[in-house]
Structure 1
Amino acid sequence: MSDVKGSGQAQDTRVAISVVIPVYNEQESLRPLYDSLTAELQKVGVPYEIIFVDDGSTDGSFAVIAELHSLDSHVRAVRFRRNFGKTPALVAGFQHAGGDVIFTMDADLQDDPTEIPQFLDKLSQGYDLVCGWKYPRHDPISKTLPSFVFNRLLVSTTTGVKLHDMNCGFKAYRREIIEDIKLYGELHRFIPVLAKQRGFKVTEVKVQHHKRKFGKSKYGAKRFLRGFLDLLMVLFLMSYLRTPLRLFGSLGLLALLVGVLVDLYIVADRFLPFGSHEAIHNRPLLFVGIMLIIFGVSFILTGLQSEMIRHFAYRPAEEYSVRQVLD
């Protein structure tokens, strides 16, 4: 927390803490959230801003945000023309955030702003990203069970990032993270994984979790399927983004080898003395081998094409993440 205070005092016009809050139909929650958040940020004692991103709300959410903006210069707002989703909302908030430390929170009052100091303490210990761990969690089993399976069994096991609550919206970032990683689609769920892959230090803290007071949850069962598909994409990006031929080439060579062996077996079985001598064109397995050969060549060509795209899209600054430079 001392690092944040120091940056704020060194330059009064510079914002030390930005809080980005995606909003979608949370009219009743906004003013209580603003009141509690403002009270806590004033206790921290550094320059701050609160950025509400209205993700196409159809209730009176933006009217409340506009009123808060007119009453408090710390409040800023971004309003989308329609509902684009949480990742675009976060990206818009990050683009408008000026703080050295950026917090993200949900607008449903389930995150408690009084937890902010412990996030700052973790950042002062050298961590770059601090994730909230909602414990105990006050959600129905329809949300907690899929979350357990997804976070603890799938994501933690496949990526090596050991967090209890990967999807918790309450997080604190050093500015370097949001400037380094690329967010699109619904990749906000995997920010800790993307940050860890770039070499940033990631940890978590237990946070209070309150029951939802107003509105209803925006998440359904289809979120689990989308999350699984996004996980596959993240695993691919982590492993083969810079060397796509290693994936497509390996699959292609394997399919090509199996296809050739299958067809050689068919030919040998037809002409060798100990074979069945059955006509080749009557063997369905022959066409399986031919298809495997075609697939193998296609995979290899796809890998080569990917390497060409990779070559022309090469940007040196994206090949690494710099922590410090001494000239």
Structure 2
Amino acid sequence: MTGLTAVVPCFNEGEQVAAAHRAIVSALGAIPELEIIFIDDGSSDDTLEHMRAIAARDGRVRYISFSRNFGLSAAISAGFRYASHPWIVQLDADLQVPPDQTWVLLAEAAKGYDVVFGTRRVRHDPLLRRLGAAGHQWAARRLLGVEVPMGASSFRVLRAPVARTLAELRMNNAYFAAKAPLVTSRYTTVQTTHRARESGRSRFRPLRLGGHAFELFFGFSWRPLNAAYLIAAVAAAVAAALTVGWLLGLVAPAAVAVAALDSSALTAVVCALSARYLHRLMLDATPLRAFYIAESNLDVRPEDTLDGGVPAVPPPALPPEKGHDHGR
């Protein structure tokens, strides 16, 4: 069996869904076995209505709608899980990467790679976003020792078994670019075209990028905690030396007090970092699923729905008044 599944996460992309569908079909419609999965991540606009309408017209289109907003990682995971073809391409509904660039990634994947990431030849994003992304990847590789494909974007082609393995990893972390090297060494990058968003509103927020950096720090590297331990140990040693000096009359009491306060502050930092790592472990072990599906035109797993695949039971209705009781 051959074929390709295009996975398109959407959040409040009502203005873009139809345009994304047209662009994908225009670029990839020549593939005999083409599937397009739109994932509605709990949108509050008319994204789901557009998905339903497109699926009714095009038998290649599948859609999944979550019961609430679970985040980009959950949307990607759902698409990877329910893709039916051996190759998957992840696309964005904003069309900043033209879908026809998929052929560039597929040609590279044919050389024997499991994952091929697109890197932007010229990036048409706000300066703050470009600087944040560059700093994010530099910190990952240089400071934290996390293996991340340099310049990797969310535009990627994967073998379906690898994609599903990534989706099922017990890691409550959205950073797929750092997950791929954990399961395969057969990955690479290739330059692709990038363009400015043509319509709709960008979902980029500085706080969101900061949150991804935070997840990277605590989800893939122990270096922050090890560094904090080392600094706290050095501070404690300095405080102890100053205390001995004070007892011998060689150091002023004020210096000892300042050192003690500094040591206490660093100890508090270590405790906070330890608590954050513990929180990460608890999230990874939580029984709560990554997402719950409220509606789909796919046969979804019962455990991925709130009702276990059984139609929802309507609530009890107000009993008819006695005078209108037909059984009297």
- TM (norm. structure 1) is 0.69
**Aligned residue among 75, 84, 89 for 1:98:** 84
Partner of 2:6: 19
Q: Are positions 1:201 and 2:186 aligned together?
A: yes
| Equivalent-residue separation in structure 2 for 1:219 and 1:257 (angstroms) | 40
Contact kept? 1:129, 1:200, Cα under 8 Å: no
| Equivalent-residue separation in structure 2 for 1:256 and 1:144 (angstroms) | 37
**Aligned residue among 139, 154, 177 for 1:192:** 177
Change over 3 Å in CA distance of 1:170–1:287 after alignment to 2: closer
| Equivalent-residue separation in structure 2 for 1:293 and 1:223 (angstroms) | 27
Partner of 1:316: none
Partner of 1:259: 236
Structure 2 unaligned segments of length 5 or more: list them.
Answer: 286-328
Partner of 1:28: 15
Contact kept? 2:239, 2:260, Cα under 8 Å: no
Partner of 2:215: 230
Partner of 1:321: none
Partner of 2:307: none
**Aligned residue among 144, 161, 182 for 2:148:** 161
| Equivalent-residue separation in structure 1 for 2:82 and 2:14 (angstroms) | 22
- What is the root-mean-square deviation in Å for CA atoms of aligned residues? 3.7
Contact kept? 1:51, 1:78, Cα under 8 Å: yes
Q: Percent identity?
A: 24
Q: Report the number of matched residues.
A: 275
| Equivalent-residue separation in structure 1 for 2:156 and 2:142 (angstroms) | 22
Partner of 2:53: 67
Change over 3 Å in CA distance of 1:216–1:199 after alignment to 2: same
Per-residue displacement from partner, 1:277-297 (whole Å, max 9, x unpaired)?
98x9995378569959988x9
Partner of 2:288: none
Structure 1 unaligned segments of length 5 or more: list them.
Answer: 1-6, 9-15, 241-246, 314-327
Partner of 2:300: none
Contact kept? 2:246, 2:256, Cα under 8 Å: no
**Aligned residue among 110, 124, 130 for 2:96:** 110
**Aligned residue among 136, 157, 179 for 2:164:** 179
| Equivalent-residue separation in structure 1 for 2:26 and 2:15 (angstroms) | 19
**Aligned residue among 87, 98, 103 for 2:73:** 87
Shift in Å, 1:255: 4.5
Contact kept? 2:16, 2:93, Cα under 8 Å: yes
Q: Secondary structure at the match of 1:76?
A: strand
- TM (norm. structure 2) is 0.69
| Equivalent-residue separation in structure 2 for 1:61 and 1:289 (angstroms) | 53
Contact kept? 1:37, 1:113, Cα under 8 Å: yes
State the one-letter code of the partner of 1:41: L
Q: Are positions 1:136 and 2:122 aligned together?
A: yes
Q: Secondary structure at the match of 2:62?
A: strand
Per-residue displacement from partner, 1:98-157 (whole Å, max 9, x unpaired)?
222111110112221212222111111121111112222222323333233333x33343
Partner of 2:200: 215
Structure with bigger RCO (C-alpha 8 Å, 6+ apart): 2
Shift in Å, 1:64: 1.3
